A = this chain, B = another copy of it.
Amino acid sequence: MFTVYGMADSGNCYKVKLALEQLKLPYQWVEVNTTKGETRSEEFLACNPNGQVPTLELEDGSFLPESGAILGYLAEGTPLLPAERLERARVLQWMFFEQYSHEPCIAVARAIQRYQPPDSPRRAELPRLQERGNKALAVMEQHLKKEPFFAAGRYTIADIALYAYTHCAADGGFDLAGYPAVSAWLARVKAQPRHVPLG
């Protein structure tokens, strides 16, 4: 059985939960609260020296961090990760897009709004995060006007990766009303078999 070290409210951890549920893989969940410094403990750093959740404990007792790597590991050999070379690369393209151009704006804006006090100096970052996050949403909108999913014409781990923080982008102050193709895609993802909500 897999063990997920994760925080229930984290989109990055939700990606792993959603994949495990949809692949019908047994797992246990160990809640790790990053806002209380639990990823900085000596015990946790022994599992993941980079001090981040999610971290997956495999059946052999080794640890695999990075949500994108965990999704790739879990989905290997399943319909969620195509075998064909260019389709695989397209899945990776959107997963790297998510981690580089999307999550650092949309997830960070959400974290500031949810976990920082109203007078936090970090709120000064919000206008820049809004601008960059909307740019990422516009890139998604342009793609989803032409395609039902991000890669291979079907639901893959690229969709799981991008759904996690897009579906709750309003928490970070983003208005999805201006992105109808993104909104329609969110509904398609939510309608997939064995979908579970964040949290």
User: A93 is contacted by which of B66, B92, B97, B101 (Cβ under 8 Å)?
Assistant: B66
* Residue of chain B at shortest CB distance from A63: B93
For chain A, the bracket of interface size reads 35 or more
A142 contacts across to B, CB distance below 8 A:
49
Copies in the complex: 2
- What residues on B are CB-neighbors of A101 within 8 Å? 50, 52
Q: Is A104 an interface residue (CB 8 A)?
A: yes
Per the 8 Å Cβ criterion, residues 123-175 of A in contact with B are 136, 139, 142-143
A64 to B100, CA, bound (A): 16
Given contact pairs A50-B139, A92-B66, A92-B68, A73 touches B86 in the complex (Cβ within 8 A): yes
CB nearest to A68 among chain B residues: B96
Give every chain B residue within 8 A of A96 (Cβ-Cβ): 66-69, 95-96, 99
A89 with B104: CB separation less than 8 A: no
Q: Beyond A58-B86, A86-B58, A88-B76, is A65–B93 a contact (Cβ under 8 Å)?
A: yes
Would you call B76 and A92 a contact (CB within 8 A)? no
